[in-house]
Amino acid sequence: MNFLGIKKGDKTVIIGGGFAGLQLAKTLRNADLKVMLIDKQNHHQFQPLFYQVASGRLEPSSISFPFRKIFQKSKNVDFRMADIVKIIPEENKLLTSYNRTISYDHLIIATGCHTNFFGNNEMSTNAFSMKTTEESIEIRNKILFSFEKEIFARPEDKQSWLNLIIVGGGATGVELSGAFAELKNNVLPKDYHNIDFSKFKIILLEGSPNTLNNMSEESRKASRQYLEELGVDVRTETILKSYDGNIAELNTGEKIPTKNVIWAAGVTGNVIDGISPEDTVRNRYIVDRYNKLQKFDNIYAVGDIAYMETPKYPHGHPQVANVAINQAKNLAHNILKSINSKTNFTEYEYKDLGMMATIGKHKAVVELPFIKFKGPLAWYVWMFLHLMLILSVRNKLVIFFNWAWSYMTKDTSLRLITNINYKKEKVTDF
């Protein structure tokens, strides 16, 4: 490949304002290009901290950043709030959900992923997922509302409001379980004096033999130990077979009454109609080392939605933020070279900077390329690195204050229940 074909003044459209799309637009701002960023939301969402919104530790506004605010001083970057339902590559157009079209000279797909229920419609209907700010708020609302419901519930129904099942022992499931366990141990008994929180059961289900299965053996063992110390019932090699909104049935045959199941067991790409399925692998667009779709000269994909085979990663890269950010940076720098008529483009090569997960106060695991550690130091490193990734100084200060307050008092003040539709609740549930 010797030329991307992107020239000065071309209209470059980016679909998706996640880590990859936002990084692309930021790197290309003030370049001699017309850049349009499109997203269903009007704000960027910092997904690694969704679990803290769900557990009432942070306000949604602390981890949400309006695109128009981010680019208000970037005259070449325009934003459109729209849901793209189809790509029409032969016309260089996009079709929105309200039947409007958007034209482009070059298209970059950065649509990321959504929760993968593996075709289980019953589960997708009745279980919670956590891939957007709204879903995180919904989890917070429902879990807190469950305690209000438990107070009024009939004796035979009370336990179903106090059983919380979290499916998936990856970082999301582990962090959620730890956060709710700390709420159970330190906060909720002070709020609800007439509920016996020894009966509040947090059950983490994982189909593989370990939690944090993509990390080292030391981190796997430490994460499970930390969770069990906090009172989480960790069940590995256990699968949730069905859930009808009231009863969760496990592959062991056990049936658990519960009103709350959170699904954190997998993701799948947000593929848009218009590109042939032959150009995808496992709901990810097949791209070359420059992130270009192989059958198109002006369509690219970056981040979770891109499937790129390299000698180091013959089955594609992991769907993590570091890959998304650095693929976007690499593509943006190649685009800048292209508009300046340079041809020394750089192939993408993933440099694994490590993994980390936090389970609770002074309980975390960190794996860097040169060292692995756990405990209080890992917890502080996790907090520092995530705080540095937050976009605005104001939000950094807000989050730091909330974390500091929670650290000193073992309490939060963000346990608000909003947007509950009482009409949907059956009178017989009380």
Q: Hey, is 143 helix, strand or coil?
A: helix
User: What is the rounded CA–CA span in Å between residue 69 and residue 85?
Assistant: 26
What pLDDT score does 81 carry? Answer: 97
What pLDDT score does 23 carry? Answer: 97
Q: Which CATH superfamily is domain 11-115+268-339 in?
A: FAD/NAD(P)-binding domain (3.50.50.60)
**CATH 3.50.50.100, domain 120-265, yes or no:** yes
Give the residue range(s) of CATH 3.50.50.100 domains in the chain.
120-265
CB 367 within 8 A of CB 215: yes
End-to-end CA distance of the chain: 66
- Residue count of the chain, please give it: 430
* Each residue's pLDDT tens digit, 180-198: 999 999 999 999 999 999 9
What pLDDT score does 312 carry? Answer: 93
* Each residue's pLDDT tens digit, 28-76: 999 999 999 999 999 999 999 999 999 999 999 999 999 999 999 999 9
What pLDDT score does 422 carry? Answer: 45
Give the residue range(s) of CATH 3.50.50.60 domains in the chain.
11-115+268-339
What pLDDT score does 343 carry? Answer: 86
What pLDDT score does 429 carry? Answer: 45
What pLDDT score does 52 carry? Answer: 95
> Of the candidates 293, 349, 350, which has an alpha carbon nearest to the alpha carbon of residue 321?
350
What pLDDT score does 423 carry? Answer: 40
| Beta bridge partner(s), residue 248 | 243, 256
What pLDDT score does 1 carry? Answer: 42
Mean pLDDT split into 10-residue runs, the chain, 430 residues: 76 97 96 96 95 93 95 95 97 96 98 93 94 94 94 95 97 97 94 94 97 95 97 97 96 97 94 96 96 95 97 94 96 95 92 94 95 96 95 92 90 78 45
What pLDDT score does 421 carry? Answer: 57
Helix runs in 261-375, H state only: 321-339
What pLDDT score does 420 carry? Answer: 63
Provide the whole-model pTM. Answer: 0.93
Q: What are phi and psi of 156, to 5 degrees?
A: -75, -15
